[in-house]
Amino acid sequence: IQFAGAVGVANCLGAPQLPVFIATQPAPDKTVPEPFDTVDSILARFADAGNFTTQEVVWLLASHSIAAQDHVDPTIPGTPFDSTPEVFDTQFFVETQLRGTLFPGTGGNQGEVESPLLGEFRLQSDSESRLQTLFTAAFRKMTILGSSEADLIECSEVIGTPPSGDIPPAHLPAGLTMNDIEQACATTPFPSLSADPGPATSVAPV
């Protein structure tokens, strides 16, 4: 799964080239957190499994930038978590702070809360180069979790180089303003972001 994930990430603009080691043992059933678990239980599980810090868990959440859901609401498979699912960028973190107003599918599913955009799925729960570096470090740590690196086979050289190009800075989707932000940390200033021009953003499935 890790190998396939690293290959998939390498197809996305803005993604880092990830290290991959194979021959790790599968995780036992019921040991991977569910999307509807509480934040405290998810952080506790990561800490117990591999001494992951809260910051490292947040770095791993960057993978949601190019991810989609299939099973929380099975009526709308392939629904992305942000408005730029083809780009490894910081939009997932921006759009997590937007006020939820609608459900893209049936709604009311375990682990789902209202989304700010038509076609975007939200689970309950600003430097591009820094995002790449921190995610890569956390991914490497998780890749060798439960194993000795000396016992694994590194296959990083077969992972393709991600495409290069200009990545737009963090922004608000078209049709939204700073008034739509629900800031999580009152003591930390939220950056002032401009919105994309044009009609209100809707997100196509992937």
Averaged over successive runs of 10 residues, the pLDDT of the chain (206 residues) comes to: 92 95 87 89 94 94 94 95 95 93 90 92 78 93 91 94 92 95 84 93 94
pLDDT of res. 58? 92
Please state, in angstroms and rounded to a whole number, the distance separating the CA atoms of residues 20 and 13: 19
Bridge partners, residue 21, by sequence: 154
**Residue 89 annotated as binding site:** yes
The b-or-e profile of 153-181 (16+ CB within 10 A means b, else e) is eebeeebeebeeeebeebbbbebbeeebb
Q: How many CB atoms lie within 10 A of CB 39?
A: 12
Residue 125's pLDDT is: 62
Q: State yes or no: 73 annotated in a binding site.
A: no
Residue 64 is assigned to a ligand binding site: yes
Residue 181 has a pLDDT of 93
Tokens of 62: 């960057």
pLDDT of residue 110: 86
Any idea what the Cα angle at residue 141 is, between residues 135 and 144, rounded to 5°?
Answer: 135
Q: What's the pLDDT score for residue 185?
A: 81
Number of Cβ within 10 Å of residue 17's Cβ equals 16
* CATH entry, 2-180, from 1.10.420.10, 1.10.10.200, 1.10.600.10, 3.30.2010.10: 1.10.420.10
Q: Is 82 annotated as a binding residue?
A: yes
Residues 91, 122: Cα–Cα separation, whole Å: 13
